[in-house]
Amino acid sequence: MTDTKKTPTPKKSKTPRTPMPEQPPMVRAANFLEVTLGYTGELAALEASRCLQCKTPLCRKGCPVEIDIPGFIGRLKAGDRDGAYRVLRQTNSLPAVCGRVCPQEVQCEGSCILGKKGEPVAIGRLERYVADSFAAENGCMQLTGETTCALPREIKVACIGSGPSSLTVAGYLSALGVKVTVFEALHELGGVLIYGIPEFRLPKDVVRREVDAMRALGVEFKTNWVGGKTILVQELLDQGFDAVFVGVGAGLPRFMDIPGESLIGVYSANEYLTRVNLGRAYAFPEYDTPVFRGKQVAVVGGGNVAMDSARTALRLGAERVTIVYRRTKGEMPARREELEHALEEGVKLEILANPLRYNGDKDRRLVSVTLERQKLGEPDASGRRSPEPTGETFDLPIDTAVVAIGTRPNPILLEATPELKLSKRGYIEVNPETGETSIPGVYAGGDIVTGSATVISAMGAGRRAAQSIIRKFVGEDAVQ
């Protein structure tokens, strides 16, 4: 109650929410360039002027890394773009990434007071503007050597994996002067930001820039190091790392265990996206990694990964891309914006349908999928109404299927580290307050703890772990 008293009465903003410039749907569906083009300085100033600068901002509470949102927008309003960037970087190591891929509608913008009567401030778009324009003009040079506290001694931390959780740990700790080394298994840095999220939604140059900013802060990156294979957790501790953060991400793709899933033309979303994103298969044969450019494509699943896969298939030249989902549009876990973008580009939906089997020709190439019509029954544990089979089946002719129904824990590091206590679902168990695992000094966060989740929740976990590392080795006063 006190909160609402302190904040201005919700009122409809006079200025409407500033639209985001975008490539037109039919143009962008044929290229891999970024869909949204970003605000100009004028658009950003206009949008920033809508912010009410609440004394007790609800938006900040909605942010998993607690960005001082009125703080950065206030500086932007005052024309202090560099100051706005510094506010962002205080709690967010990857602002250019978050400005693009966070589900703001259920976080900061979902809590914005303007949204009660009208449309919320476009916080994500402003965040992206500040990060992009700062990087464009300043590069990362300004960040070098900006340490803010005196460490009692040299503290060394190792991060396994270079996805959003590890990068957050690295960004947070290196800004405080901690020596961080990041070990990545693949040949390119960024984890899911590189192999998972497509170029048209998150350009790889943006990720590279964020990584370069951390390098400027002294973070050391090593590629081709597989945690649990090339190096063991215990070896890192023995080598003098004070703490180890495990952020190895989601792992083995799930399949439905139905007939025909090994036919040629059936991909996991991970394989499909990794070929296209990490391998740049969209530019084959300039790049060597191939991918099958299907004409009739079905994508199974209703999350963001399914949307990314469907939109990728379109851009690879598919004539028809159908998202097959066993519930209805309303139950899809994907962000609204992603679903809308996909539909605008021409992706079809086949809702209340579930694959029963994939059918192949004599060469074991996929030719169709047999789907069973579903109907919605009672809500399940997730609160969504659960699909029930009706017995009615039909065939959808396809030459490519992309299975995007989630992942299971990757076994490599877990098998190599039997001392790590796991949850019932097989993920790493951590103290929810500190992120510390059953091995003292070893922390974990992101998808290897929660199962498939969002970039920002992984970053929140990274921040919590980084804060506990500082609390343990430096003291409460140094925690930001």
Partner 1 sequence: MPYRILKRKDLIPGQTILMVVDAPMIAAKSRPGNFVILRVSEKGERVPLTIADADAAAGTITIVFLVVGKTTAQLATLREGEDILDVCGPLGRATHIEKCGSVICVGGGTGIAAMHHIAKGHHQMGNRVVAVIGARNKDLLLFCDELGSFCPEVLIATDDGSRGHKGFVTELLKARLEEDKDIAEVVAVGPVPMMEAVAGVTKPFGVKTTVSLNSIMVDGIGMCGACRCTVGGKVRFACVDGPEFDGHAVDFQELRMRLGQFRAEEKVSLEKFRAES
Residues forming contacts to partner 1 in the complex (CB under 8 A) are: 185-187, 195, 222-226, 229-231, 250-253, 255, 257, 261-262, 264, 267-268, 270-271, 274-275, 278-280, 284-290, 292, 363-364, 410-412
> Which residues, 6 or more positions from 248, have their beta carbon under 8 angstroms from its beta carbon?
160, 161, 185, 227, 410, 412, 413, 446, 448
Give dist(CA 263, CA 314) in Å, integer: 21
The alpha carbon torsion through 87, 109, 404, 209 (nearest 10 deg) reads -20
Nearer to partner 1, 102 or 185 (CB): 185
- Of 275, 269, 233, 235, give the one whose Cα is nearest residue 252: 269
CB of 287 to partner 1, least distance (A): 5
Do residues 350 and 326 make contact, with C-beta atoms less than 8 angstroms apart?
no
Q: Which is nearer to partner 1, 265 or 460 (CB)?
A: 265
Cβ at position 451, least distance to partner 1 in Å: 15
CB contact set of 153 (below 8 Å; sequence gap of 6+): none
Q: Tell the smallest beta-carbon distance from residue 472 to partner 1 (Å).
A: 29
Chain mean position to CA 114: 26
| CB 413 within 8 Å of CB 166 | no
Tell me whether residue 105 or residue 261 sits nearer to partner 1 (CB atom): 261
Which lies closer to partner 1 via its Cβ, residue 102 or residue 244? 244
Which residue's CB is nearer to partner 1, number 118 or number 203? 203
Q: Nearest distance from residue 279's CB to partner 1, in Å?
A: 7
**In the complex, what is the shortest distance from the CB of residue 353 to partner 1, in angstroms, rounded to a whole number?**
23
Q: How far is the CB of 215 from partner 1 (least distance, A)?
A: 16
- Kind and range of the H or E element at 472? helix 455-473
Do residues 444 and 435 touch, judged by C-beta distance below 8 A? yes
Least CB distance from residue 65 to partner 1, whole Å?
26
Whose tokens are 């399940």? That residue is: 380
d(CA 465, CA 274): 28
Between 253 and 446, name the residue whose CB sits nearer to partner 1. 253
Q: Are 291 and 284 in contact (CB under 8 A)?
A: yes
Q: Which is nearer to partner 1, 214 or 273 (CB)?
A: 273
Give the separation between CA 339 and CA 332, rounded to whole angstroms. Answer: 9
- Which CB sits closer to partner 1, 46 or 412? 412
Cβ distance 159 to 174 under 8 Å? no
Shortest Å, Cβ 389 to partner 1: 23
